[in-house]
Amino acid sequence: MPPPGARNSFRATAPSCHAQFPIDPERELDSVLMNTLKRCNRPQPLHFMNKDLAVFEGHEIRRVYDERTETWWFSVVDIVQVLTQQPDFQTARKYWNKLKERLAKEGSQLVTNCHQLKMTATDGKQRPTDVANAETLLRLVQSVPSPKAEPIKLWLAKVGYERMQELSDPSRSLDRARETWQKQGRNEKWIEQRMTGQETRNKLTDYWADHDIKKGDEYAILTNIIHQEWAEVSVKDHKKLKALKTQNLRDHMSEAELIFTALAELSTRQIAESVEATGMQENKAAAKTGGSIAKKARVELEEKTGRKIVTRENYLPPPAAAKKLK
């Protein structure tokens, strides 16, 4: 079963659509049928799906969890990028496109079992992305000659099991994040700041959710206003400075960058609460003011120390050799 919101055929989405025809439909039947088809083919919002990132040997894999079917849907191109050990995302995407063509010609069901969901792309925008569940990916792995095939099959099985544990005990998610950062060489001080910053972020998004801010684009717009204000660089340009693509920017911030991000978001929330900011316009004003408070502190510290807070430093692993599809 494809995930809710997946772009798929009319047959896959039709059961959820019910047209109410008039008693005498002769003149209006064609119009009603066309409108019904449009509704059925329109991608549905992911009302009960959680977006998350998983990490395999330092590589971030985009994924979405369908709570109704208890299924993880993974970005296929992210998995292919790991299998081919290809540092360039666009090259990995082209590899997947060629592989899809070859599998389709062979009559493989693997391509049929892949669907599309909107995920955050390298430019920070939500774009349609091929996704597949673990069962499909385990078979797809066999089509890509790679020394990473066996490790990633074990990993796919492991993340599915871990998700079930986390649903029954949310503290396991925090433990897993800490363990991942430790394996990536982060020190305890950085980890504590990262987790504190995430808690600050969660409180801010909780406020937004309760005050007419929509998840997705509106969250991203407000986040970028805060970031642009305190850092004097957009989220997109900050990621570019650090040579990041699909990676989470905060996972590659220095301790100082994390602190100022948290200060900006804490200030934004408290200002919004003080005026009961509701809707985009009022929360944009709060975001700008909150970010400016952190900016003043950043500028003062930089003047005292002579060191820039926003840097190009990151925690990326050394690039691997590129491979081409033969």
In 3D space, the residue among 132, 38, 32 whose CA is nearest the CA of residue 80 turns out to be: 132
Local structure of residue 224 (DSSP, 8 states): H
Class of residue 270 by CB neighbours under 10 A (exposed 0-12, middle 13-18, buried 19+): middle
Supply the pLDDT for residue 39: 34
Q: Which residues contact 85 (CB under 8 A, 6 or more apart)?
A: 146, 148, 320, 321, 322, 323
Please answer whether residues 10 and 2 qualify as being in contact, where contact means their C-beta atoms are separated by less than 8 angstroms.
no
Enumerate helices (H) and strands (E) in the chain, giving the number of each. Answer: 12, 5
The SS3 assignment for 65 reads strand
Supply the pLDDT for residue 167: 52
Supply the pLDDT for residue 324: 41
Neighbour count for residue 232 (Cβ, 10 Å): 13
Please answer whether residues 245 and 123 qualify as being in contact, where contact means their C-beta atoms are separated by less than 8 angstroms.
no
Please answer whether residues 13 and 40 qualify as being in contact, where contact means their C-beta atoms are separated by less than 8 angstroms.
yes
Class of residue 302 by CB neighbours under 10 A (exposed 0-12, middle 13-18, buried 19+): middle
Write out the two tokens for 140. 């797809």
Supply the pLDDT for residue 18: 35
pTM of the shown model: 0.54
Run means of pLDDT, 10 residues per run, the chain, 326 residues: 51 34 35 34 39 77 75 88 88 90 85 83 82 86 86 78 56 74 89 93 94 90 97 95 87 95 98 97 98 98 97 81 39
In 3D space, the residue among 80, 251, 72, 63 whose CA is nearest the CA of residue 152 turns out to be: 80
Helix 255-275 to helix 217-231 angle, to the nearest 10 degrees?
Answer: 120
Residue corresponding to tokens 């948290």:
262
Write out the two tokens for 173. 């998610």
In 3D space, the residue among 17, 315, 50 whose CA is nearest the CA of residue 186 turns out to be: 315
Supply the pLDDT for residue 278: 97
Supply the pLDDT for residue 126: 83
